[in-house]
């Protein structure tokens, strides 16, 4: 599912709005639904916490490029299908050759079954850091338990994220002459 992959006891898949309504930002002047094609569905395995990350398999090519000394916030919305759990976010920092330098330190919140809740972690990229890998851990999850994640965002900030702003794209066509 994109660059998200399981670290431990998590099976990831994409779900459409017929399964769970996508996150919708209510604080914008003109509320809109997340236009991405669905949310991330995590089915937990047995034997402990479920954990997954974005770019962990190859931080140099799949991680998120950063600048040392800059402050970054990783945030994401979550909801539980049936059982609420503490959800932990962390940022792993990597050097130029893909070696792990340090971790931000986990922050957590408990998701709900009634709607989307947001968690975030903010940290400063350490010296000699070139890439970050956001990680998510669902604590104490049971076998086949389902959790959803949507509207993941990484931003360079000094105060941290406040709302989700969908990324915009532009299509460019180049013509050789």
- Averaged pLDDT for residues 6-28: 80
150 by Cβ neighbours in 10 Å (0-12 / 13-18 / 19+) ranks as buried
Strand, helix or coil for residue 59: helix
> Token match 């799949």: residue?
62
Q: Which of 17-21, 59-63, 111-115, 123-127 has the lowest mean pLDDT?
A: 17-21
Question: What are the residue ranges of helices labelled H in 107-156?
Answer: none
Distance (Å, rounded) from C-alpha 120 to C-alpha 32? 21
Distance (Å, rounded) from C-alpha 91 to C-alpha 133? 6
C-alpha distance across the termini of the chain, in Å: 38
Alpha-carbon distance values, 114 to 17, 68, 79, 135, 162 (Å): 16, 39, 8, 24, 21
Q: 25 or 88: which carries more pLDDT confidence?
A: 88
| Per-residue model confidence as pLDDT tens digits over 26-67 | 665 544 455 556 789 999 998 789 999 999 999 999 999 999
Tokens for 34? 């997340």
Confidence of residue 162 (pLDDT cuts 50, 70, 90): low
| Per-residue model confidence as pLDDT tens digits over 72-112 | 999 999 999 999 999 999 999 999 999 999 999 999 999 99
Distance (Å, rounded) from C-alpha 147 to C-alpha 159? 28
Distance (Å, rounded) from C-alpha 140 to C-alpha 125? 29
Q: Judge whether 28 and 64 are in contact, CB under 8 Å.
A: no
């Amino acid at each position: 599912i994109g660059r998200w992959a399981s670290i431990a006891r998590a099976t990831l898949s994409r779900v459409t709005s017929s399964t769970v309504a996508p996150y919708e930002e209510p604080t914008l002047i003109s509320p809109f639904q997340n236009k991405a094609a669905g949310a991330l569905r995590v089915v937990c395995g047995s034997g402990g916490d479920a954990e997954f990350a974005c770019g962990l398999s190859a931080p140099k090519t799949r991680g998120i490029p950063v600048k040392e000394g800059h402050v970054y916030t990783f945030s994401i919305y979550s909801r539980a299908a049936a059982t609420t759990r503490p959800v932990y976010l962390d940022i792993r920092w990597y050097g130029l050759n893909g070696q792990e330098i340090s971790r931000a330190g986990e922050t957590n919140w408990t998701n709900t079954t009634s709607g989307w809740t947001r968690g975030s972690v903010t940290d400063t990229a350490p010296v000699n850091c070139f890439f970050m890998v956001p990680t998510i851990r669902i604590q104490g999850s049971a076998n086949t338990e389902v959790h959803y994640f949507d509207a993941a965002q990484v931003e360079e900030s000094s105060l941290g994220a406040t709302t989700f702003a969908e990324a915009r794209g532009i299509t460019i066509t180049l013509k050789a002459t």
